[in-house]
């Protein structure tokens, strides 16, 4: 470079134009100065000075970047030794500020900038040495501080962390004067920004370099300290760097505790924490650090002053701060905010392994400086307030407001969390439990199986002792104490009365006992889900008492069951819900036999109560039969009588109900059968005129002896006719029942009647000696014959007792079964008829859908409401054909009648729709082929048919003309909006044209391809189907087979033409395969050309 400078100087002096005079670049200029300084060249060298000066002046007139100005700055400082005043030196600050920032990348830029700084510092030392040797006392070094401009430059390199680190490492190794230069003129803010780029969130680097700044006493300038403090507090870029992870934030909080030269006051520390509190991570590490800063690092004090008064020392507490009371208030506010946030904010920035509540509860165990008891008390006060607020809130881990309190208690009792609480907090927690205990009593729905299992694991565990646990369990198990159940003994007279036919003696003490027992059982059932806790923790007095109460109650229940001292009310309770299951689970001595016997009796009473209620509600019985009235009244209010006593008292009534249970069930089953109900009412109204039913004579029946006839006559004459009638009904009933089982021939008929139907005095005149089962039917028919001779007026009666209604049932059932047989035959006939009609309807729908499918405007023909109804009714009626019993034949016929009413009787049109459905392809051809659509072509085709030699085709001319005209005008060219209109149009066509169906059938029977060939005229081919040679050859072969020798002569020409065409086709394919070019004019030959033309074309293809 020095050689270059010399050559340039010589060239300028000699005006030699052959030497280039290019400017040195800013970096090259710096290198020149660096070498001059290193070689200690004479500073008054005019040659070097002039070249440097000229190049510098030219560069400074250009638009340089800030980095290029940094390269030039040592050069400018170097020239300042040579010239005291120069515009280039004075204008540098403004020119630097105007310089651009963005510039291409430089290799080893950090080394270049460090080299510039080092060179400039060497130049400074040289200048200081020169000043020291100068005799001028006012001499001083005139220079621009390169270090200050480098800092200004680096703030624009936010992505160059390594560059900034290298430069700062060099600068930190320099003197205090350098750093004062850097931080002067408001450059301290830029210095912090460069440090932020270099160190980011690496606080080990921050600490290292800030300690270096402390050594050079840079922070003695309060302005610099305030600038650094402000940036740490408010700089958004730095905040983002710090709050990227809990680890970085924790390191920052540790950093601010160590750098007391920046955070000199408690207020500075608090202000910084306030700025970061909304972005902190709520993990244990961060929270412990913050609480430690607020309560152990800050200088707030709560101290005790001992005052001497009246010879006694009194403790007087003062709450003070080293700076101001507002500091302590801020600490309390920040602590409250932290405790509140960690509890309430559901979406905290925290580690998944550290849920916020777990972090919160750990703070209760945080150690505060024990030298100040007042500070500890204040801390505990804040914790107690936070705990109380948390417990009283209506929220906990997705729980509903009504069931969260016990879960909060369980959460604290789990994993020894309660042990973390100070004593004051535990006392407050116990008060909260008492205030909310009504919300978590054991029988509340808030308790889940998971909650009970968790409680079972906690019971007896520290920090609570057995006394505390017993206190807590008593809050859960708040209920009434077991009441004494009075004795249920009754005197002998009452027991005797129960065996009579009168209603049982009302004993109110029974209902009282049972209600008390039900209350206790209900209490026991409420403990069912707590069984494991009650059994596994007998060391707790309250749980032991509850389990003893359960077992005592179960023992009492089993005892009453064995002694038959249970009433219906208690049984109803036992059978309700899942009570039976709970009883079996809770009882240690459950007696299944006694239980089953009792429940069986109860079920019997409830069954007959339900049957009687149904018969009354269904109006079979207007009133309860007189012989069942006492039982019915008892069932209305059965609580004052034991079940066993009621069974004994109403034994006859129950047996009577059991005897006729089949008849009662049949009546209930036929509830919705209106025919049966009508017949029932008629038979009941004509009860007195009812005829006695006959019984069929069995082969093994003996004829009556004269003595038995005499006895039966005597019975008939001496017994009231109402009684005779009832006995005869019972006689029929027992005969029907005994026919289904093996009867005892030697058993007396009177015993049957008396034991089964409870006749006693009514059978005084009934024969008993030798009147055995063998005479059952013959004896009955003898009485019937005597009964028929009576006049109706002699038997004026209405049904009042159960057996009267059984006679009504017999008459009703007999008529109903006879009518059911007739109805069945009618239905079967109707079913068959309807099946045929249904099939017709289906073809009607399908045929109409086919016409729409091939109509040119099919998309515009919609399904209207009537068509939807038709489809629905056809689908419903399909059940009947498929033997689904959900629909009666009457309903199906009504559906059919609706169809007929709207569309008319379609039986005359069935054949049309069958044709349409079975010939859909031909219908499509008629609808779309141009032969049928275009009238001109159609008429021309018909003329061709008229001349056709095939008689069958000639006969189709008129049917085709008639059919096509009607279809074109009324169907294919008509715009239908609804499908029902289309269906009705088809029906009207058939009804208005009697020959339409016949003609359509004739047209659809023919072979359409053959028909189209017959309709060809000259070289016109009608239709859209193109035939290949094979198809044509096949058709000709068929034609040959059907013609006589004479007839074949007429088509010899066309056959010869076809043979030549096949030859041409083969030649043509071979020609094209060899690369020949297609000639379309040689591919068409009119059929009316002579054979010679065809042969000529063949020869041309051969030549090609």
Do the Cβ atoms of 300 and 322 come closer than 8 Å? yes
Do the Cβ atoms of 188 and 224 come closer than 8 Å? yes
* Confidence (pLDDT) at 1061: 80
* Confidence (pLDDT) at 188: 73
Average pLDDT score over residue span 617-631: 83
Average pLDDT score over residue span 412-441: 90
- Enter the tokens of residue 727: 């006995």
Split at pLDDT 50, 70, 90, the class of 428 is very high
Segment holding 849, helix H or strand E: helix 802-853
Q: What would the pLDDT profile of 14-59 be if each residue is shown by its tens digit?
A: 555 555 566 778 888 888 888 878 776 555 466 666 777 777 777 7
Residue 40 φ/ψ region, left for φ over 0, alpha for ψ in the -120 to 50 degree band, beta for the rest: left
| CA–CA gap between residue 538 and residue 531 (Å, rounded) | 11
* Confidence (pLDDT) at 890: 59
- Enter the tokens of residue 710: 């005499």
* Confidence (pLDDT) at 321: 41
Neighbours of 997 (CB within 10 A): 18
Looking at the chain, the whole-number percentage of residues with pLDDT higher than 90 is 9
* Confidence (pLDDT) at 769: 75
Split at pLDDT 50, 70, 90, the class of 425 is very high
Sign of the C-alpha dihedral, residues 371, 260, 228, 192?
A: negative
* Confidence (pLDDT) at 684: 82
Split at pLDDT 50, 70, 90, the class of 1022 is very low
- Enter the tokens of residue 226: 């305030």
Q: H/E/C letters for each residue in 600-619?
A: HHHHHHHHHHHHHHHHHHCC
Mean pLDDT lowest for which of 601-610, 743-752, 991-1000?
A: 743-752
Phi, psi angles (nearest 5°) of residue 396 = -170, 110
* Confidence (pLDDT) at 1087: 67
* Confidence (pLDDT) at 472: 92
| CA–CA gap between residue 979 and residue 863 (Å, rounded) | 6
Do the Cβ atoms of 237 and 197 come closer than 8 Å? no
* Confidence (pLDDT) at 82: 65
Split at pLDDT 50, 70, 90, the class of 521 is very high
* Confidence (pLDDT) at 482: 52
* Confidence (pLDDT) at 987: 85
Predicted confidence (pLDDT) at residue 917 exceeds the cutoff of 60:
yes
Q: Mean pLDDT of all residues in the chain? A: 78
CA 731, chain centre distance (Å): 66
Split at pLDDT 50, 70, 90, the class of 536 is very high
Split at pLDDT 50, 70, 90, the class of 590 is confident
| CA–CA gap between residue 966 and residue 33 (Å, rounded) | 114
Question: Please, which residues have CB within 8 angstroms of residue 736's CB and are 6 or more apart in sequence?
Answer: none
Do the Cβ atoms of 773 and 745 come closer than 8 Å? yes
* Confidence (pLDDT) at 554: 92
Mean pLDDT lowest for which of 225-229, 556-560, 1003-1007, 1053-1057?
A: 1053-1057
Predicted confidence (pLDDT) at residue 698 exceeds the cutoff of 70:
no
Closest CA to 2 of 43, 51, 40: 51
* Confidence (pLDDT) at 493: 44
* Confidence (pLDDT) at 44: 47
Predicted confidence (pLDDT) at residue 310 exceeds the cutoff of 50:
no
Mean pLDDT lowest for which of 160-169, 174-183, 550-559?
A: 174-183
* Confidence (pLDDT) at 1024: 43
Strand-pairing partners, residue 748, are 772
Prior bond of 66 cis (ω within 30°): no
Split at pLDDT 50, 70, 90, the class of 227 is confident
Average pLDDT score over residue span 811-825: 69
Q: What would the pLDDT profile of 318-335 be if each residue is shown by its tens digit?
A: 444 434 568 888 889 999
* Confidence (pLDDT) at 4: 65
* Confidence (pLDDT) at 543: 93
* Confidence (pLDDT) at 896: 66
Top pLDDT among 579 and 369 is at 579
Predicted confidence (pLDDT) at residue 197 exceeds the cutoff of 70:
yes
Q: What would the pLDDT profile of 442-479 be if each residue is shown by its tens digit?
A: 888 889 899 999 999 999 888 898 899 999 999 999 86
Average pLDDT score over residue span 825-847: 58
Looking at the chain, the whole-number percentage of residues with pLDDT higher than 70 is 76
Q: What would the pLDDT profile of 678-693 be if each residue is shown by its tens digit?
A: 888 888 887 777 676 7
Q: What would the pLDDT profile of 68-103 be if each residue is shown by its tens digit?
A: 888 888 888 887 766 666 676 777 888 888 888 766
Mean pLDDT lowest for which of 345-354, 716-725, 838-847, 1004-1013?
A: 345-354
Predicted confidence (pLDDT) at residue 383 exceeds the cutoff of 80:
yes
| CA–CA gap between residue 1063 and residue 1071 (Å, rounded) | 12
Do the Cβ atoms of 395 and 389 come closer than 8 Å? no
Split at pLDDT 50, 70, 90, the class of 386 is very high
Top pLDDT among 543 and 91 is at 543
* Confidence (pLDDT) at 370: 64
| CA–CA gap between residue 637 and residue 639 (Å, rounded) | 6
Do the Cβ atoms of 780 and 796 come closer than 8 Å? no
Neighbours of 166 (CB within 10 A): 18
Predicted confidence (pLDDT) at residue 829 exceeds the cutoff of 60:
no
Domain borders along the chain are: 2-234, 301-330+351-476, 493-659, 665-825, 832-1029, 1038-1103
Mean pLDDT lowest for which of 172-176, 456-460, 877-881?
A: 877-881
Top pLDDT among 499 and 584 is at 584
- Enter the tokens of residue 279: 């972005």
Predicted confidence (pLDDT) at residue 135 exceeds the cutoff of 60:
no
Average pLDDT score over residue span 562-567: 90
- Enter the tokens of residue 1023: 């239709």
The vertex-428 CA angle with 422 and 430, nearest 5°, equals 105
* Confidence (pLDDT) at 1023: 43
* Confidence (pLDDT) at 323: 46
* Confidence (pLDDT) at 398: 62
Report the length, in residues, of the chain.
1104
Split at pLDDT 50, 70, 90, the class of 1079 is low
| CA–CA gap between residue 703 and residue 680 (Å, rounded) | 35
Average pLDDT score over residue span 1024-1041: 58
Do the Cβ atoms of 570 and 518 come closer than 8 Å? yes
DSSP for 858-882? GGG-B--HHHHHHHHHHHHHHHHHT
Phi, psi angles (nearest 5°) of residue 304 = -110, 130
For residue 859, what is the DSSP state? G
* Confidence (pLDDT) at 456: 93
Split at pLDDT 50, 70, 90, the class of 500 is very low
Can you give the pTM of this predicted structure? Answer: 0.56
């Amino acid at each position: 470079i020095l050689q270059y400078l010399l050559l340039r100087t010589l060239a300028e002096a000699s005006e030699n134009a052959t030497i280039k005079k290019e400017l040195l670049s800013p970096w090259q200029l710096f290198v020149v100065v660096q070498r001059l300084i290193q070689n200690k060249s004479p500073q008054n060298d005019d040659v070097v000075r002039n070249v440097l000066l000229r190049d510098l002046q030219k560069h400074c007139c250009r638009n340089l970047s800030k980095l290029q100005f940094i390269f030039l700055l040592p050069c400018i400082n170097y020239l300042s030794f040579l010239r005291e005043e120069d515009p280039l030196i004075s204008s540098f600050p403004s020119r630097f500020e105007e310089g651009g920032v963005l510039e291409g990348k430089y290799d080893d830029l950090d080394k270049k900038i460090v080299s510039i700084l080092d060179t400039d510092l060497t130049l400074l030392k040289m200048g200081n040495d020169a000043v020291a040797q100068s005799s001028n006392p006012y001499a001083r070094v005139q220079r621009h501080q390169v270090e200050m401009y480098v800092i200004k430059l680096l703030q624009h390199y936010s992505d160059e962390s390594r560059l900034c680190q290298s430069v700062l490492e060099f600068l930190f190794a320099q003197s205090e004067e350098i750093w004062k230069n850097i931080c002067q003129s408001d450059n301290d803010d830029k210095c912090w920004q460069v440090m932020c780029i270099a160190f980011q969130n690496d606080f080990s680097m921050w600490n290292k370099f800030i300690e270096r700044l402390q050594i050079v006493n840079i922070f003695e300038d309060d302005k610099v300290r305030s600038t650094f403090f402000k940036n740490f507090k408010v700089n958004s870029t730095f905040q983002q760097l710090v709050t990227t992870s809990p680890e970085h934030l924790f390191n920052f909080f540790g950093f601010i505790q160590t750098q007391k030269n920046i955070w000199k006051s408690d207020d500075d520390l608090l202000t910084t924490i306030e700025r970061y509190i909304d972005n902190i991570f709520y993990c244990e590490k961060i929270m412990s650090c913050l609480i430690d800063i607020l309560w152990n690092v800050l200088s707030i004090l709560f101290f005790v002053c001992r005052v001497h008064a009246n010879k006694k020392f009194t403790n007087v507490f003062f709450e003070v701060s080293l700076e101001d009371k507002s500091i302590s208030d801020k600490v309390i506010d920040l602590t409250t905010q932290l405790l509140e946030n960690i509890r309430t904010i559901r979406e905290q920035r925290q580690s998944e392994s550290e849920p916020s509540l777990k972090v919160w509860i750990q703070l209760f165990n945080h150690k505060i400086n024990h030298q100040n008891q007042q500070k500890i008390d204040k801390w505990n006060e804040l914790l107690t307030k936070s705990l109380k607020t948390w417990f009283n809130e209506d929220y906990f881990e997705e729980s509903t407001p009504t069931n969260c309190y016990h879960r909060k208690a369980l959460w604290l009792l789990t994993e020894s969390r309660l042990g973390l609480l100070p004593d004051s907090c535990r006392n407050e927690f116990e008060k909260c439990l008492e205030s909310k205990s009504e919300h978590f009593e054991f029988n509340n729905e808030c308790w889940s199986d998971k909650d009970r299992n968790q409680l079972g694991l906690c019971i007896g565990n520290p920090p609570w002792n057995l006394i505390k646990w017993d206190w807590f369990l008593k809050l859960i198990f708040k209920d009434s104490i077991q009441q004494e159940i009075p004795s249920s003994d009754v005197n002998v007279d009452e027991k005797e009365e129960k065996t009579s036919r009168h209603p049982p003696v009302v004993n109110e003490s029974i209902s009282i006992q049972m209600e008390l027992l039900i209350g206790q059982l209900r209490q026991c059932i409420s403990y069912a889900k707590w069984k494991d806790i009650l059994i596994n923790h007998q060391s707790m007095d309250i749980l032991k008492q509850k389990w003893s109460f359960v077992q005592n109650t179960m023992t009492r229940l089993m005892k009453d069951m064995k002694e038959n001292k249970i009433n219906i009310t208690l049984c109803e309770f036992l059978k309700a819900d899942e009570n039976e299951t709970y009883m079996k689970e809770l009882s240690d001595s459950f007696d299944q036999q006694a239980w089953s016997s009792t429940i069986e009796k109860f079920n019997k009473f409830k069954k007959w109560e339900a049957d009687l209620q149904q018969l009354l509600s269904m109006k079979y019985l207007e009133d309860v039969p007189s012989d069942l009235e006492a039982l019915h009244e008892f069932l209305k209010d059965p609580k004052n009588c034991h079940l066993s006593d009621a069974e004994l008292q109403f034994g006859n009534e129950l047996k009577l109900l059991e005897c006729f249970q089949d008849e009662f069930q049949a009546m209930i089953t036929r509830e919705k059968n209106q025919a049966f109900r009508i017949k029932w009412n008629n038979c009941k109204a004509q009860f007195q005129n009812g005829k006695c039913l006959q019984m069929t004579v069995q082969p093994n029946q003996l004829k009556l002896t004269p003595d038995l006839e005499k006895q039966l006559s005597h019975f008939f004459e001496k017994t009231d006719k109402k009684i005779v009638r009832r006995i005869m009904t019972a006689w029929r009933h027992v005969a029907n029942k005994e026919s289904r089982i093996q009867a005892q021939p030697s058993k007396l008929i009177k015993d049957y009647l008396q034991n089964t139907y409870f006749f006693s005095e009514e059978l005084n005149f009934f024969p008993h000696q030798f009147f055995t089962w063998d005479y059952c039917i013959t004896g009955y028919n003898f009485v019937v014959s005597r009964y028929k001779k009576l006049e109706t007026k002699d038997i004026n009666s209405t049904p009042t007792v159960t057996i009267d209604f059984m006679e009504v049932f017999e008459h009703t059932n007999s008529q109903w079964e006879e009518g059911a047989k007739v109805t069945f035959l009618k239905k079967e006939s109707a079913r068959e008829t309807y099946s045929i009609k249904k099939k017709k309807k289906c073809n009607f729908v399908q045929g109409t859908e086919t016409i729409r499918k091939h109509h040119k405007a099919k998309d515009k023909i919609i399904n209207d409401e009537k068509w939807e109804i038709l489809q629905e009714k056809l689908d419903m009626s399909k059940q009947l054909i498929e033997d689904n019993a959900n629909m009666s034949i009457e309903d199906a016929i009504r559906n059919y009648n609706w169809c007929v009413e709207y569309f008319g009787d379609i039986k005359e049109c069935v054949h049309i729709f069958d044709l349409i459905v079975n010939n859909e392809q031909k219908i499509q051809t008629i609808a779309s082929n141009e032969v049928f659509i275009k009238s001109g072509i159609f008429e021309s085709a018909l003329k061709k048919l008229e001349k056709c030699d095939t008689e069958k085709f000639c006969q189709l001319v008129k049917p085709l003309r008639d059919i096509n005209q009607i279809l074109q005008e009324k169907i294919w060219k008509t715009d239908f909006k609804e499908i029902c209109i289309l269906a009705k149009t088809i029906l009207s066509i058939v009804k208005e044209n009697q020959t339409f169906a016949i003609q359509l059938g004739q047209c659809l029977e023919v072979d359409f391809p053959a028909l189209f060939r017959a309709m060809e005229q000259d070289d016109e081919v009608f239709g859209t189907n193109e035939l290949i040679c094979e198809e044509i050859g096949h058709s000709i072969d068929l034609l040959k087979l059907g013609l006589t020798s004479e007839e074949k002569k007429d088509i010899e020409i066309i056959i010869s033409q076809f043979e030549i065409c096949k030859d041409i086709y083969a030649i043509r394919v071979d020609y094209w395969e060899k690369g020949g070019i297609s000639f379309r004019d040689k591919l068409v030959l009119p059929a009316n050309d002579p054979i010679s033309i065809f042969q000529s074309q063949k020869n041309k293809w051969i030549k090609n």
